[in-house]
Amino acid sequence: MRLNAYLARAGIASRRGADDLIKAGRVTVNGEPGQLNTFVESRDRVAVDGEPVALQRLAYILLNKPQGVVTTARDPQGRRTVVDLVPGDPRVVPVGRLDADTTGALLLTNDGPLAHTLAHPRYGVDKVYEATVDGIPTDETLARLAAGIELDDGPTAPARVRRLGPHTVEIAIHEGRNRQVRRMLDAVGHPVTRLHRSEYAGLTLDGLEPGKSRELESTEIARLRDSVNAE
């Protein structure tokens, strides 16, 4: 694997942070300075500032993200992050993002290739949201949402939409645009007052309280890989 991915898997830094370490000359591979294009194999010896590093075990964690927590590994403003809510060993990072006010299913992992694949729109990973909105959407409005809404960055793909209550709708999308569900509902005149992601890539929050997390079972990891044909 590429050197920056190796350092990320070792829990040293994010890939971007690893690039900075490599550029600064602080990383060696078999005693030689590492380069941004260096590939590392299992027999290679990697060190940072002279200290040897090794890969951590792969971990896959499902978090029920509470409101007010930011989806990042660290926050310059000192706000609580999703990484603060999960075990620190091995180091994991979130797959995709939920804005601070959105709650629900969030996957964190140190499996970089799988995370990248899950986040890529070509694989159509399902994300299911429950949205409480101002007003009462009509059946015609729900049909518009299902067919696709014109946003400032282009039309959305068709979605699965159903009514859960007078002010609550469920929307399943497979795109990953910034604040997409909120923007879709704004566009049809029903601003979101509460947004919860109930499902991600087939993973649900059954029995998982807000702020709590659990490691995925082997069968769940296999299904994730199968869903994107990952090796």
Mean pLDDT value across residues 23-42: 94
CATH architecture assigned to 126-200: 2-Layer Sandwich (3.30)
Would you say the CATH fold of 126-200 matches that of 60-121+203-227? Answer: yes
Catalytic residues: 99
Amino acid symbol at 171: I
pLDDT in tens, 213-228: 999 999 999 999 988 8
| 123: confidence class by pLDDT, cuts 50, 70, 90 | confident
CA distance 169 to 181: 11
Domain range 3-53, its CATH number among 3.40.50.12280, 3.10.20.600, 1.20.120.530, 3.10.290.10: 3.10.290.10
Domain locations along the chain: 3-53, 60-121+203-227, 126-200
Task: Tell me the fold of 60-121+203-227.
Answer: Alpha-Beta Plaits (3.30.70)
Residue 230: per-residue pLDDT:
55
Mean pLDDT value across residues 66-92: 90
Mean pLDDT value across residues 15-42: 93
DSSP-derived 3-state class of residue 23: helix
Q: CA dihedral in degrees (225, 177, 163, 144; nearest 10)? A: -120
For residue 144, is pLDDT > 90?
Answer: yes
Across 177-199, b (16+ Cβ under 10 Å) vs e yields eeebbbbbbbebebebeebbbbb
